[in-house]
Structure formats: structure tokens, C-alpha cells
């Protein structure tokens, strides 16, 4: 039996504890609440696979509790306990959203059979993206960001301040710190929240194509331009354009970007017709742009145009108090993505995570939890973590690893295990691995992974 978690809500202590004992004996993790109000409070901090609630309770009866559940937690599955012979209560509960009901006196075998059948249905079903987001939302502390350490509180304060304005923002932080999430938070809290949020990794676009990508092009403007195309500036009109790795831009595109920031006008490649755009610019970099200016690799006037308001995003090693939140957030994310039921992270595994220096920041933590989730069944323990995490004294030495067999084998294994977990769904596997579908195809070819053998 997988470690499913069940909440029992009943003001009859003997009945509540009796059901808990039956289910715990079957291997379920059980939590209790003595009324509907306390049940709602538990749901604010915990995630349950199933709720069992009595129909008649003081303070908040089972029907009111069920209706609030369906309003606040629409994906939650509920069994209603009704008195013998009160079939009208059962019908009313089913109409209000209960998945099934059971009558008193409760028979142990009947209870366990019903619970197992419902959870089997649940484990085979696919949650919608909206339902998944609702399950994960309790981990968010500010907009879509996780963490409440002092360095992150300062970031939240800056986001709140700048989101009220429309000025350009420059987000500075090491690779993997979550700069795009900060940009999304600014957009969500701004007056442009109903407009598009368009993200562009400028470092991933070939220099000869970046003008076309940003400003669009006309048919025939260059080889391969088979039709007219809108650029990212037009796509982001009335919204926010996030330009990541801004320091990788070449001199010519820097001049073009500066002109757009000054005039709010673009021209598609191959055209001289001006197009007005209404776009808020948020840029990000993991480089020291001031040093690049001194080396004549970045324009000083563009820097001042972008750096109207700066947000310095702290590395994970400076916000270790957030590791617990982040690790459990990713654990639950991969529970949903991989259809797993990992109920927690053991204290010794969490201690190892907190001692590690995290050169790859939050992105590295995400990948470590993914790797652990692929192999863990009940809890993530220290045995599921890589050796450089388990031995912090070694990991804290600044070692540069050359590409080799060991590292490639780790990556190959993660790809294979992820594809198996999602039954070969490449789009879903790429999303979980944090890479594009094209990159996944390239890796399949590079590592000669035969999909038919998965």
C-alpha cells in the first residue's frame, strides 16, 4: 500500500479514532479534526488524498464543510458518513460533491474497501494543470515565490514597490536563482497583469536571428523567412517582456534595443514601417554588467536605461532557511507530475540539503529532488541523494568537473527514469526535466536511448 494521507473529520471522538485505527492498520497515514472548521485549517497547511467527514457535527456540519471544500479545494475527494436509514442525507451529499458515502454503524471491511477503490480511481486519473497549481499553491509565500527568509523578504518588498510603476527593472542574480519567477511576480502584481507575459532567453538565440526574434520580420527578409512573423515585442504589447541573459546581446542588437526603449517603436526585419508598442521591460543577468561596460562589451547608455530599478536576487546559500520549503514544494510537484506518493523528506536528508552550498542554486535543488523522487517510494532519505550532497566537506571545495562518462550516465539515467515515469510522454518529461522538447530529442539521440526499450 502506498502512503496515502487521509483526513477524518468527526466530532464523535470514539468514531473518529475507530476509523483512524482501521485505516492506519491498512497502512494509510491518518490525520484527525474534530469539526469542519479545524478540518479547513488543516487543509491550509497539509495535502490529503481523501477526506472522510460525518454529516452531523457541531459548529460546522458535514454539508457546509463539504460545500466549502468544493469551493476552496475543488479537486478534493470526500466520503460522507451518514446515519443508518438517512438516505436523503447521502443523496444531498452526493449532489454537493461527495464522491461516495458510507452509513453507520461502520463496518471495517466496508470502509477499507471503499477507501481503496476511491484512491485507485484517484491514482489513475490526471489532474488538470489548474488542480495541480491549487495543490502547490500553499507553498507560495509571495505571488509565485517560495521562501520567507530575510533576504527574500527584501526581494518581496522591492517587487511590491516596483510593481506599482511601469519603469524598467534589472534583476541581477546567479544562474538558477529564479529570476524569471521574480519577473512573473512583478507582472502579476502590476496593472499589466491581464496582458501577456513574454519571456525570451536572449543567450539561447543565435546572434543572426535575435533581431527577427525580438522585432519580427517580413516574408523574404532573409533565407528561411517564408512568411511574415511577429516579434516578441509585438507579442508582449500591453504586457511585459522579460529579457533574460541580457549581457549576451551583441553590439548591434544593443543599439536597436536602446532605440526601442527610447521611442517605444520597432521595425520588423526587412521593413521600414514603424510599429508602436506598449511594453514594460524587465531584464535579467548573471553577469557583472559594470565590468562588461569597462571592457566595451556592453553599452553604458543601455545599462542605465535598463537599470532604472535593480533587484538583487540572493543565491540559495544565503537563504538556507528556505531550503525546507523549496524541497517540499518540489517533492509535491513531482508527486503530481510523476504520480508518486512521497510523504516527506527524512530529517537526516534535510540536514544534508541544508549543509550543502548549492552552486547551482534553486535549479540544482529542483533537479536533486527530481532525481530523488524518481527512486524514492515512501520518503526521500539520504540514500536517495547524490554523494556530493551527502558529503558537504567535499562538496564545498570548488571543483570543476570535466565532462565525462559519470556525469553523462547520471543525465542519461534521469532522462530514462523520467520517461518511464510519464509513460513516454516527451512533452511532460521535458517539462519535468526543465528542458525544451527539442533539447530532450537531442539528448535521446546523443545518448542513443531507444524509446521502444523504455
> What are the Cα distances from residue 248, in Å, to 85, 235, 262, 269?
73, 22, 21, 20
pLDDT at position 1:
38
DSSP-derived 3-state class of residue 344: strand
Q: Between 45 and 329, where is the model more confident?
A: 329
Angle between helices 426-433 and 323-338 in degrees, nearest 10: 170
| Per-residue pLDDT at 418 exceeds 90 | no
Which single residue is written with the C-alpha cell 514601417? 273
Question: What burial letters (b/e) apply to 265-293, b meaning 16+ CB within 10 Å?
Answer: ebbbbeeeeebebebbbbbbbbeebeebb
pLDDT of residue 234 exceeding 70, the answer is yes
Q: Cell 521611442 appears where?
A: 263
pLDDT in tens, 7-30: 999 988 999 999 999 999 888 889
If you average pLDDT over each of 74-83, 120-129, 309-318, which comes out highest? 309-318
Which three cell numbers, joined as nine digits, stand for 84? 443508518
Is pLDDT of 350 > 90? yes
- Between CA 248 and CA 324 the distance in angstroms is 34
pLDDT tens-digit readout, 199-213: 999 988 888 889 999
Question: Mean pLDDT lowest for which of 38-42, 191-195, 306-310?
Answer: 38-42
**Does residue 271 carry a pLDDT above 50?**
yes
- Using 50, 70 and 90 to split pLDDT, how confident is the model at 408? low
**Residue 9's closest CA among 92, 108, 98?**
98
pLDDT at 262 over 50: yes
- What whole-number distance in Å separates Cα of residue 306 and Cα of residue 302? 6
Q: Which residue has the higher pLDDT, 226 or 454?
A: 226
Q: Which strand (E) or helix (H) includes residue 246?
A: none
pLDDT value at position 407? 52
Angle between helices 361-375 and 323-338 (to 10 degrees): 50
For residue 237, pLDDT over 90 is answered with yes
Q: Where are the beta strands (DSSP E) in 158-213?
A: 169-172, 197-201
**Read out DSSP for 387-425?**
HHHH-HHHHTS--PPPP-HHHHHHHHHHHHHHHHHTTT-
Residue with more model confidence, 309 or 343: 309
Most confident option among 184-198, 200-214, 222-236: 184-198
Round to whole Å and give the CA distance between 219 and 200. 22
Q: Domains of the chain (ranges plus CATH)?
A: 5-125 (3.40.50.2300), 165-314 (3.40.50.300), 400-454 (1.10.10.60)
SS3 content of the chain, % helix, strand, coil (to 5): 50, 15, 35
What is the rounded distance in angstroms from the CA atom of residue 454 to the CA atom of residue 441?
Answer: 15
What integer best gives the mean pLDDT of the chain? 86
Closest CA to 161 of 311, 319, 322, 315: 311
Of 111-115, 179-183, 223-227, 272-276, the poorest mean pLDDT is in 223-227
Q: Look at the chain and count its residues.
A: 454
Phi, psi of 383 (to 5 degrees): -70, -20
Give, as one character, the DSSP assignment of residue 317.
G
Mean pLDDT lowest for which of 89-98, 255-264, 356-365, 404-413?
404-413
More confident residue, 435 or 40: 40
Has residue 242 got a pLDDT over 60? Answer: yes
pLDDT band at 126 (very low <50, low <70, confident <90, very high): low
Amino acid at each position: 500500500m502506498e502512503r496515502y494521507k487521509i483526513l477524518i473529520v468527526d466530532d464523535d471522538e470514539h468514531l473518529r479514532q475507530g476509523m483512524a485505527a482501521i485505516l492506519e492498520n491498512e497502512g494509510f497515514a491518518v490525520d484527525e479534526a474534530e469539526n469542519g472548521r479545524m478540518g479547513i485549517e488543516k487543509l491550509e497547511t497539509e495535502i490529503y488524498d481523501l477526506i472522510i467527514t460525518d454529516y452531523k457535527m457541531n459548529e460546522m456540519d458535514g454539508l457546509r464543510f463539504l460545500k466549502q471544500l468544493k469551493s476552496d479545494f475543488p479537486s478534493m475527494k470526500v466520503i460522507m458518513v451518514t446515519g443508518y436509514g438517512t438516505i436523503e442525507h447521502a443523496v444531498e451529499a452526493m449532489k454537493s460533491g461527495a464522491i461516495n458515502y458510507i452509513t453507520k454503524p461502520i463496518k471495517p471491511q466496508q470502509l477499507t474497501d471503499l477507501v481503496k477503490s476511491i484512491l485507485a480511481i484517484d491514482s489513475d486519473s490526471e489532474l488538470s494543470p489548474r488542480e495541480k497549481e491549487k495543490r502547490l499553491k500553499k507553498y507560495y509565500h509571495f505571488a509565485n515565490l517560495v521562501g520567507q527568509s530575510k533576504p527574500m523578504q527584501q526581494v518581496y518588498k522591492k517587487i511590491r514597490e516596483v510593481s506599482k510603476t511601469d519603469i524598467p527593472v534589472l534583476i541581477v542574480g546567479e544562474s538558477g536563482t529564479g529570476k524569471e519567477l521574480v519577473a512573473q511576480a512583478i507582472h502579476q502584481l502590476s496593472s499589466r497583469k491581464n496582458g501577456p507575459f513574454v519571456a525570451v532567453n536572449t543567450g539561447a538565440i543565435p546572434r543572426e536571428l535575435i533581431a527577427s526574434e525580438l522585432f519580427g520580420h517580413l516574408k523574404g527578409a532573409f533565407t528561411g523567412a517564408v512568411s511574415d512573423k511577429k516579434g516578441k515585442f509585438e507579442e508582449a504589447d500591453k504586457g511585459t517582456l522579460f529579457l533574460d541573459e541580457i549581457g549576451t546581446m551583441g553590439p548591434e542588437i544593443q543599439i536597436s534595443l536602446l532605440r526601442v526603449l527610447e521611442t517605444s517603436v520597432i521595425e520588423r526585419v526587412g521593413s521600414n514601417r514603424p510599429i508602436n508598442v506598449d511594453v514594460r521591460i524587465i531584464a535579467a543577468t548573471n553577469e557583472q554588467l559594470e565590468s562588461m561596460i569597462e571592457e566595451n562589451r556592453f553599452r553604458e547608455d543601455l545599462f542605465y536605461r535598463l537599470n532604472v530599478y535593480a533587484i538583487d536576487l540572493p543565491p540559495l546559500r544565503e537563504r538556507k532557511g528556505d531550503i525546507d520549503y523549496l524541497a517540499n514544494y518540489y517533492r509535491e510537484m513531482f508527486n503530481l507530475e510523476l504520480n508518486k506518493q512521497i510523504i516527506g523528506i527524512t530529517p537526516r536528508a534535510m540536514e544534508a540539503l541544508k549543509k550543502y552550498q548549492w552552486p547551482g542554486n534553486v535549479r540544482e535543488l529542483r533537479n536533486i529532488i527530481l532525481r530523488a523522487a524518481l527512486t524514492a517510494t515512501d520518503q526521500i532519505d539520504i540514500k536517495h541523494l547524490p554523494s556530493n550532497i551527502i558529503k558537504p566537506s567535499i562538496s564545498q571545495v570548488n571543483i570543476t568537473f570535466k565532462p565525462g562518462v559519470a556525469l553523462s550516465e547520471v543525465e542519461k539515467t534521469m532522462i530514462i527514469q523520467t520517461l518511464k515515469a510519464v509513460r513516454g510522454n516527451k512533452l511532460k518529461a521535458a517539462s519535468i526535466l526543465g528542458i525544451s522538447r527539442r533539447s530532450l530529442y537531442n539528448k535521446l539521440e546523443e545518448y542513443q536511448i531507444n524509446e521502444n526499450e523504455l
